[in-house]
């Protein structure tokens, strides 16, 4: 402040002005606070009114199915490797009728999970996905260990059209090499023809 | 049975008065407890949130829940305290506040004590109120409590000086220390807030300081003194300090209403006598909300600033008000 003097060096008139100015600022504060009576509240009464969660919010983890209703997960273990806290564990097995890989069991310990989303990024089949559900509270810690039947959902999640086995080169029963979408027929290495 | 009552009219009268006194006492305590809810809801409103709204309708049951909690807390007396003083202090805090409420003329027919020097008694009891926090702070035998107690002593003594002076203008205008007479004077001649505006400003400032409410809550400044004079208190003894503070707010609101805003008088009271209490309660409620608004908006001043505001601003202001009122009263007396 230019020309500022400490109160004891100011003239009586200036001090009177200071007092009046102080009273004015205090009254102004009171009026401003009172105006909040008519202001919208910043909070929502939570359990009755839920906040909006964007679709890509990183909440409870699910395992999705492809458009045909089969499990997307091929038990590649990339999510378990990517997980920084190591809360994902699974066991691979094969379907005897067509040779598709799938997890025999799949376990996520949500008491460890930090909801970083790295498993979702690592997943080559978009099987593992994070959802906007954040209400995971439990009374027992053991209840936070989700098994495959807790994780698996019936829908496709965020990528409704994606089907890994339809686009990947992996051959299964009923879809030999070269039969996938945009996949060219396999090269016959024993032929000399171009 | 009836004969006996007819034979002892004084006894019946005193019985009725006792019942009235108990009703006033209970209503005061209930209103003070309810103030806690009001304060939390209003602070919530002014901070753009809700405040307690879960227990019962509008969260009104929160007070009951708090009461149950505080009653069941361990009534712990630390081993290093001065026991007797430690126990007496909260009793003084709440007892004196309730005693002061006895002086308030609620309606033309209600009111516990009708003393013709009611205002003086009020000032005297307000002066005694300092003992509660002073003794509490001293008996606690802890540095925070002692500092809080010392602060409140200096603060109350300083502010009580001009609290009395700021009210003398009213006494001059009404020509009486009798609170009932002051209300009747205002009903006839208009509310004191207009001729005694500066007295009102000084009195409200002093009243907040004397009941040590925010912004003058330096004795219990959390950021510096833990909880100030009641740092060592817990359970119901803390509760008594707490309720005492809220009774103090109700009391100060009631006294301000009586002294400056015409007490029970208001439009329609002349023809409908039952309107007296609603008017009184409404005015009190406005002041109670006003004190909460002050808490919501004003920060706590530094200690020397608070002292300077008391001695250098409010005391001269109330003295000027006193002299001005005296001049007007004398001029009026000579002119008439």
Domain ranges of chain B: 74-334
Known binding residue A87? Answer is no
pLDDT band at residue B1 under the 50/70/90 scheme = low
CB contact under 8 A, B297 and A30: yes
- Chain A CB contacts of B296 under 8 Å are 33
CB contact under 8 A, B53 and A45: yes
CB contact under 8 A, A30 and B47: no
The minimum CA-CA distance between A15 and chain B, rounded to whole Å, is: 11
Q: Which among B125, B159, B145 has a CA at the least distance from the CA of B307?
A: B159
Say whether pLDDT at B217 is over 80. no
- Chain B CB contacts of A21 under 8 Å are none
Q: Up-side HSE of residue B164: CA atoms within 13 Å toward CB?
A: 14
Give the model's pLDDT for residue A28.
93
Chain B residue at shortest CA distance from A19: B313
Say whether pLDDT at B155 is over 80. yes
Which residue in A21, A34, A38, A40 has the most chain B C-beta atoms within 10 A of its own C-beta, making it the best mutation to test that interface?
Answer: A34
Instruction: Tell me the count of A-B CB pairs closer than 8 A.
Output: 34
CB contact under 8 A, B293 and A42: no
Give the model's pLDDT for residue A34.
92
Known binding residue A123? Answer is yes
User: What is the average pLDDT across A132-137?
Assistant: 91
The minimum CA-CA distance between A135 and chain B, rounded to whole Å, is: 20
CB contact under 8 A, B48 and A40: yes
Option in B49, B294, B313 nearest A42 (CB): B49
Q: Which among A187, A180, A148, A182 has a CA at the least distance from the CA of A165?
A: A180
User: What is the average pLDDT across B122-147?
Assistant: 85
Chain A residue at shortest CA distance from B53: A45
Among A148-162, B262-276, B318-332, name the one with the lowest average pLDDT: B262-276
A189 vs A175, A177, A179, CA distance in Å?
21, 14, 18
Mean pLDDT value across chain B:
84
Option in A33, A39, A42 nearest B296 (CB): A33
Option in A26, A39, A43 nearest B50 (CB): A43
Say whether pLDDT at A122 is over 90. yes
Say whether pLDDT at A140 is over 90. yes
Predicted model pTM: 0.77
What are the DSSP E strand ranges found in A99-178?
101-109, 128-130, 145-146
Percentage above 90 pLDDT, chain B: 4
Chain B residue at shortest CA distance from A16: B313
Which residue in A28, A33, A45, A46 has the most chain B C-beta atoms within 10 A of its own C-beta, making it the best mutation to test that interface?
Answer: A33
Say whether pLDDT at B335 is over 70. no
Q: Which residues contact A164 (CB under 8 A, 6 or more apart)?
A: A66, A72, A74, A124, A125, A126, A127
CB contact under 8 A, B48 and A39: yes
Give the model's pLDDT for residue A61.
93
CB contact under 8 A, A43 and B293: no
Answer whether B246's CB lies under 8 Å from B35's CB. Answer: yes
């Amino acid at each position: 402040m230019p020309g500022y003097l400490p109160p004891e060096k100011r003239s009586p008139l200036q001090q009177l002005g200071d007092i009046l100015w102080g009273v004015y600022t205090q009254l102004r504060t009171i009026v401003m606070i009172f105006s909040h009576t008519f202001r919208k509240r910043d909070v929502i009464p939570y359990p009755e009114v839920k906040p909006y969660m964007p679709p890509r919010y990183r909440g409870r983890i699910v395992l999705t199915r492809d458009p045909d209703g089969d499990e997307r997960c091929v038990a590649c273990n990339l999510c378990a490797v990517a997980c920084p806290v190591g809360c994902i564990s699974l066991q691979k097995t094969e379907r005897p009728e067509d040779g598709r890989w799938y997890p025999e069991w799949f376990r996520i310990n949500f008491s460890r999970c930090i909801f970083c989303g790295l498993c979702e990024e690592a997943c080559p089949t978009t099987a593992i996905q994070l959802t906007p559900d954040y209400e995971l509270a439990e009374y027992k810690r053991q209840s936070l260990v989700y098994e495959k039947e807790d994780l698996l959902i019936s829908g496709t999640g965020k990528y409704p059209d994606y089907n890994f086995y339809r686009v990947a080169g992996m051959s299964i029963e009923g879809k030999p090499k070269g039969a996938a979408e945009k996949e060219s027929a396999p090269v016959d290495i024993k032929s000399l023809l171009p | 049975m009836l004969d006996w009552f007819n034979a002892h009219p004084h006894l019946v009268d005193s019985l009725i008065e006792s019942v009235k006194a108990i009703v006033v006492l209970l209503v005061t305590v209930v209103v003070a407890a309810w103030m806690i809810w009001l304060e939390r809801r209003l602070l919530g409103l002014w901070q753009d949130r809700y405040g307690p709204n879960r227990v019962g309708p509008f969260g009104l049951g929160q007070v009951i829940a708090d009461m149950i909690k505080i009653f069941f807390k361990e009534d712990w007396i630390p081993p290093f305290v001065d026991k007797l003083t430690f126990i007496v202090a909260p009793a003084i805090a709440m007892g004196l506040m309730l005693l002061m409420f006895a002086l308030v003329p609620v309606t033309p027919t209600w009111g516990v004590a009708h003393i013709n020097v009611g205002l003086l008694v009020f000032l005297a009891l307000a002066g005694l109120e300092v003992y509660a926090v002073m003794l509490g702070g001293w008996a606690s035998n802890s540095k925070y409590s002692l500092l809080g107690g010392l602060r409140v002593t200096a603060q109350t003594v300083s502010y009580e000086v001009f609290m009395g002076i700021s009210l003398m203008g009213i006494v001059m205008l009404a020509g009486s220390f009798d609170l009932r007479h002051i209300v009747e004077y205002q009903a006839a001649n208009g509310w004191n807030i207009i001729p005694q505006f500066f007295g009102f400003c000084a009195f409200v400032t002093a009243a907040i300081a004397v009941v040590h409410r925010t912004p003058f809550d330096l004795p219990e400044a959390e950021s510096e003194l833990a909880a100030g004079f009641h740092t060592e208190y817990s359970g119901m003894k803390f509760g008594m300090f707490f309720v005492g503070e809220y009774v103090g707010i109700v009391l100060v609101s009631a006294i301000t209403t009586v002294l400056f805003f015409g007490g029970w008088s208001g439009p329609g009271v002349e023809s409908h006598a039952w309107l007296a209490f609603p008017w009184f309660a409404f005015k009190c409620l406005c002041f109670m909300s006003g004190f909460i608004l002050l808490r919501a908006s004003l920060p706590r001043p530094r200690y020397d600033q608070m002292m300077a505001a008391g001695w250098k601003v409010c005391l001269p202001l109330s003295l000027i008000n006193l002299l001005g009122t005296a001049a007007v009263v004398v001029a009026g007396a000579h002119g008439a």
